[in-house]
Structure 1
């Protein structure tokens, strides 16, 4: 795919720039400075020596060496090519956000801040002092993953960040926020502490390393305020006491996933919608969790068993999972959100989203595969090469990949969208003028 895209992009870059576009390109180069130059040079060197800089000739592993400076001159055309691609991408992101806002979207494009970068990529090559080499971030054992997780990503060095005035972190945020209406932070607990795993050791032998959370949050809030951007964090899994409160005080939304929202300090039963927190994005699932269809059918338990991820017998896992799902479905039925009754998977998916809209959450999220019944998780934590993470095209309930046109025309998708659309208030209520639309109580879809 990249080989074909590169051919097309090279044709595009070969088109001469008009004076106005040339000036815009030069302004972009000046604004991005060394960070863009380093990225483009890494891309050019990777075309020659491979995509992991640890395997390059020794003299090129240092971005400031004389040999690297000579390579920059020798590969000037390829460096410019990759700078042009970054510029075109930036311009297209700006256009996309502008079009979204002009179309009436309150938020528009939502960018994602990943928990880390590739260990052999441009970031770790250009900013070697900022990363802890020989370490990987992950997660300790928890209820969803009893073996713990190793994500294969090098962590920031807290001491280097502090010594630099958090310059790498600030630069990262500014790039992400430049054309964003909102920013989602993956594993937002990483601003407070991260689970470090020594290279070659299992995740169970890791340990927590803390950041200066006050400083990390201050930089985040300042940059988001300057950009006028909403920030939401994925605060799921093992969350240190006080983290959610610290985020809420600074206006950073959390993430509440339906299946996890229970009265853990009391009955253990599912939380009624009015008991959910307000400062959150409410959703049925995330990219790291089973789709709603898989959750309802129990397919996710079978998949994890097949991949050797369960720590208990399959029958025991199935019984517990089935009881959990049945309890939620019973609540949905009692609340009148499941008029079709049990046994209808698609109706249950709609009922789940009716529930989300009933909560006081500021935003409600829809997982795109849920709109057509896809049963496969996009990412399965705890797997490396055992499962095709991030490589699955969206498919229907039968597992058949669908095109964008088929997705947009899907009757199942449109039936779910009818649930999410603002309801028409009858004129006699006096709550709205005839022909206007009022939002449903609780959350608004995002």
Structure 2
């Protein structure tokens, strides 16, 4: 694909295909790209496959061909409700076998006998024995849920999950036959006078209730709330968490923990002293200091944790710990170890969760493990309160959570789920028009075969926790459920390859868990997407996303609103662009020029941005949405009127647009050069906007009036 002259052999191509590695793809410039042999060998190595020589390739090919025949049952079977499906059962040739289903207790339980289908398959010699295949038919009327198939016989004794998923995820009743609009916010940036330097879950509850009650909004989309490191320095990006399953306790409101109200005077003073210096940061327009906020908050939470709990409160905590099970216990242990060893190199034995050192540390750090379990329980309670407040305020959907693509390479998930996350490669993106070198996101990808062998339980458990208190979930880079760009360690991002995933299983399980939670699912499907993928997601009831600035017709002009897809979340902007006021002013050009990110002369880029702006204003004028000399605020409102003229079922409004903010939350392609994910909510003059003042903003209320007039 680049400078490597070695083309892959046919045998290597076949092996790569057998393991879901796509050797070629079409680039953003329309050219056909073929991965080099070096790239394919490296990606296969990350999948645990040795393709270092022709002999190794032949051995690996024979192994993968025989693999299904070595198992009595597939590791997991995922089917759509109402669809006919067959399950292969492998036993010694000629042996009888009895096969039945144990139904999911949540679906009513019970036992269903399975009948063998008349599907003759010749036996196969595997590892020196003759193996036969019997094919059994799954009933088409199976209820949704996680069932279990069992096989018993002289040479069989196996069980595997059978996951029956919705054929289509329907919109909840509150959205049937109607459209809805809501706000989109970076929670850490939305602070009140009682925050500790960072927007928190009490602020989320306040904003959600008021947005529903005062503005008529139906949802509030927040950035991923996934957990960061347990001690400073914290990774600022909410899209690079240590785990996607659990919550960042940075968002806890200390005073809202029930036990905080019953502290002794001395302990209450300790809490007040901890919070006093960081509360002063709430009105600071400079970069948000997560490290200072968490250091103060953790000290205060340790005081509250030590306070006695009532019998009922302790029982609630115990129930939560039992429900979250091993996953919570392992995460809490990792947090305690991270506190012990910091972010330096851990002892080799500490990297193995099953080692003697870790077993000993579990006992030595029992109190810290209990503290981190408790933090998750408290955060879960406060998220539940925020979602309840949103619904009580009149929202039809409530809180819409965001699921990041992956996790930090040295985080809790890598430590705990190392058997289902690949090593030797990271997730990224091939070269495109915005980044011609490609991207490496430094996140370890799911290992497809290992995830299937784990019956997708780590994926399911993550979804269940995120969906526990949610009316909707946005899946960042939903294309990752179909394929991911794997970049081998040490290789440039351009020298990667796509690895395919079982999208039928991943999308199906997502639909099942969302159905059980009563949640809407939105897949962020921006970028180069094969048309069939969007069609497939729409067929399964997964909404897409449309961003006004990216929607173009075949001539390159702004796409007419009536031509937008109906099953999407449509917005004017996204968190990777400056707020609309800043975008109209060319802030995206100014920032990139200042940071040295432009590949063309600034005058050329600025002219292109000005032309894009003028073209969009001309379209607005043609539709009668603005006059001859519109103000910035009038243009922003007109752009939202344009989006509300689409048939899109959901319309999102960035809270930054509603207050006139100009600064971008994130500048792609930068790390320390720009204060990514640290920009507090402020108005057009750069003055911090606190929650207490948010809903008196004339600009916010005027924009809400526009949305309600066109959608409500």
More helix, by proportion: 1
Return 5+ residue gaps in structure 2 as ranges.
1-292
Alpha-carbon distance in 1 for matches of 2:535, 2:419:
32
* 1:287 maps onto 2:575 in alignment: yes
Give 1:192's match in structure 2, choosing from 469, 479, 482: 482
Alpha-carbon distance in 1 for matches of 2:630, 2:566:
31
* 1:381 maps onto 2:668 in alignment: yes
Which secondary structure state, in structure 1, belongs to the residue aligned with residue 398 of structure 2? coil
Which secondary structure state, in structure 2, belongs to the residue aligned with residue 30 of structure 1? helix
TM-score (norm 2): 0.57
Question: 1:306 maps to what in 2?
Answer: 594
User: 1:406: Cα distance to partner?
Assistant: 3.4
Alignment of 1:10-49 (within 5 A): 10-49=302-341
Q: 1:206 to 1:381 in 2, by over 3 A?
A: farther
User: 1:258: Cα distance to partner?
Assistant: 0.4
Question: 1:395 maps to what in 2?
Answer: 682
Moved more, 403-412 or 213-222: 403-412
Question: 1:130 maps to what in 2?
Answer: 420
Question: 2:368 maps to what in 1?
Answer: 78
Alpha-carbon distance in 1 for matches of 2:420, 2:666:
28
User: 1:198: Cα distance to partner?
Assistant: 2.5
User: 1:390: Cα distance to partner?
Assistant: 0.9
Alignment of 1:210-249 (within 5 A): 210-249=500-539
User: 1:20: Cα distance to partner?
Assistant: 0.8
Alignment of 1:335-354 (within 5 A): 335-339=623-627, 341-354=628-641
Question: 1:321 maps to what in 2?
Answer: 609
Moved more, 220-229 or 290-299: 290-299
Alpha-carbon distance in 1 for matches of 2:465, 2:688:
33
User: 1:300: Cα distance to partner?
Assistant: 0.6
Alignment of 1:132-147 (within 5 A): 132-147=422-437
Post-superposition, which runs of at least 4 consecutive aligned residues in structure 1 deviate over 6 A?
A: none
Alignment of 1:84-103 (within 5 A): 84-103=374-393
TM-score (norm 1): 0.91
Q: Which structure would you say has the larger Rg?
A: 2
Question: 2:342 maps to what in 1?
Answer: 50
Alpha-carbon distance in 2 for matches of 1:305, 1:140:
23
| Greater RCO, CA 8 A, separation 6+ | 2
Which secondary structure state, in structure 2, belongs to the residue aligned with residue 130 of structure 1? coil
Alpha-carbon distance in 1 for matches of 2:615, 2:332:
53
Which secondary structure state, in structure 2, belongs to the residue aligned with residue 281 of structure 1? strand
Residue by residue over 1:33-63, the C-alpha shift from the partner in whole angstroms, topping out at 9 and shown as x without a partner, is 11000110111111110146xx211111111
User: 1:343: Cα distance to partner?
Assistant: 4.7
* 1:119 maps onto 2:409 in alignment: yes
Return 5+ residue gaps in structure 1 as ranges.
424-439
Query: Could you tell me whether the CA contact under 8 Å between 1:142 and 1:237 is conserved in 2?
Result: no
Question: 2:558 maps to what in 1?
Answer: 270
